A = this chain, B = another copy of it.
Amino acid sequence: MPDQDQNSIGVALSGSTVRAGLVDEAGNIIDRREAKIAPENLVEQVATIARDLASIAPVSSIGIAIPGLVNRQTDSVVTSRFPSTVGGNLHAEFMRATGLRVEIENDANAAAYGEFKVGAGSGSRDMFYMMIGEGIGGAIILNGKLWTGSSGFAGEVGHITIDTEGLECVCGNTGCLETVASAPSIVRRARERLNRDSTSSLSRLGLKRNFTAFDVAQQAKEGDDFALMMIERTGKYIGTGVASVINLLNIERIVLGGGVMDAGSLILNPIIHEAKRRAFLSCFEATEIVAAKLGWDAVPIGVALLARNAADV
């Protein structure tokens, strides 16, 4: 009979979806559930999924990852891309509804921990994680532990300024990395370019009115020059941020995940090239820059392991 401390539930909340996994001590997902999010009834929805998964194997903790800032001192959600009904003291609400020990964590922190434990970060001691998707998040692992800063917010690499006079960002700043390297920014730049040059024969993208960053990456993979240029340009921007992380942290390994990295080597190569061009060579050479391995599973696996490990303390 499995020890109930060996399994934990990991829940990844996004703007639209709840993805949950029953995760064993080695970071394997034993079973999983996925549902459209019910913002008005989120806590009960998560509790129902948790009861369902806990009927498969006993668990005593649940980790919940959200796309927002979590204050680790107060365990409260500070800001989030979330429906406004979600916020405040989620910790207490989830604990009451599930009867389990609860850890709430930023989704990039969760994914970082998952990759560190059983993914592309394995074998490293210090690791920086970047999650490049709808937004750009990040997380820092030092000496094998998540380093979340004074109040839990560390790692917000999407909001370092790479262009003092750049575009306005959702965070209020201008010229953040996120304004030019997130998935929506790829679409915006591609659209702007196609508007300027509507006769361009370079691209099939213009034929689709509502193309996504995923479409751009697909077209690039199929050899479309214009789409490829958009992906490479994005890689250059990400590489600029990566170089700043390298110079600031001299970190052993940088793991790049999130939807934008689905473009594979088409984006990884320009990232590495630009990082090498911009970082101190001695720092660059001390850093491995690699793609994440776990995909979407990084978040539920990571947050489940964080919840489990918190229980050990």
Taking Cβ atoms with an 8 Å cutoff, the residues of A that contact B are 69, 71, 78-79, 126, 138, 140, 142, 147-157, 159-165, 171-174, 237, 240, 243-245, 247-252, 277-283, 286-287
Considering the chains assembled together, what is the distance between the CA atoms of A155 and B277 in angstroms? 19
* With contact pairs A252-B150, A287-B150 given, residues A159 and B247 touching in the complex (Cβ less than 8 Å): yes
Contact assessment for A173 and B248 in the assembled complex, using a CB-CB cutoff below 8 Å: no
When distances are taken between beta carbons in the complex, the residues of chain B under 8 Å from A163 are 162-165
Contact assessment for B280 and A69 in the assembled complex, using a CB-CB cutoff below 8 Å: yes
**Least Cβ–Cβ distance between A75 and chain B, in angstroms:** 14
Q: How many copies does the complex hold?
A: 2
* With contact pairs A164-B163, A248-B157 given, residues A282 and B149 touching in the complex (Cβ less than 8 Å): no
Contact of A286 among B138, B150, B157, B161 (CB under 8 A): B150
Contact assessment for B278 and A161 in the assembled complex, using a CB-CB cutoff below 8 Å: yes
When distances are taken between beta carbons in the complex, the residues of chain B under 8 Å from A247 are 153, 156-157, 159-160
Contact of A251 among B138, B149, B245 (CB under 8 A): B149
Contact assessment for B78 and A153 in the assembled complex, using a CB-CB cutoff below 8 Å: no
Q: Which residue of B lies closest to A147 (CB)?
A: B142
Contact assessment for B250 and A248 in the assembled complex, using a CB-CB cutoff below 8 Å: no
**Least Cβ–Cβ distance between A69 and chain B, in angstroms:** 6
Considering the chains assembled together, what is the distance between the CA atoms of A2 and B21 in angstroms? 62
A–B Cβ pairs within 8 angstroms, 13 of them: A69-B280, A142-B142, A149-B286, A150-B251, A151-B282, A154-B249, A154-B250, A154-B251, A156-B283, A157-B247, A160-B247, A164-B237, A173-B243
Contact assessment for A155 and B79 in the assembled complex, using a CB-CB cutoff below 8 Å: no
Considering the chains assembled together, what is the distance between the CA atoms of A140 and B251 in angstroms? 13
What 5 A-B pairs have minimum CB-CB distances, sorted nearest first? A149-B250, A160-B244, A154-B250, A156-B247, A153-B250
When distances are taken between beta carbons in the complex, the residues of chain B under 8 Å from A282 are 69, 71, 78-79, 151, 153
Contact of A150 among B78, B126, B164, B281 (CB under 8 A): B126
Q: Which residue of B lies closest to A126 (CB)?
A: B150
Interface centre among A126, A147, A240, A250 (most CB of B within 10 A): A250
Considering the chains assembled together, what is the distance between the CA atoms of A248 and B108 in angstroms? 13
**Least Cβ–Cβ distance between A246 and chain B, in angstroms:** 9
Q: Which residue of B lies closest to A174 (CB)?
A: B278
**Least Cβ–Cβ distance between A62 and chain B, in angstroms:** 25
Q: Which residue of B lies closest to A281 (CB)?
A: B172
**Least Cβ–Cβ distance between A156 and chain B, in angstroms:** 4
Considering the chains assembled together, what is the distance between the CA atoms of A243 and B174 in angstroms? 12
Q: Apart from A79-B280, A153-B283, what 7 extra A-B contacts exist at CB < 8 Å?
A: A69-B282, A151-B283, A153-B247, A153-B286, A156-B280, A171-B280, A248-B248
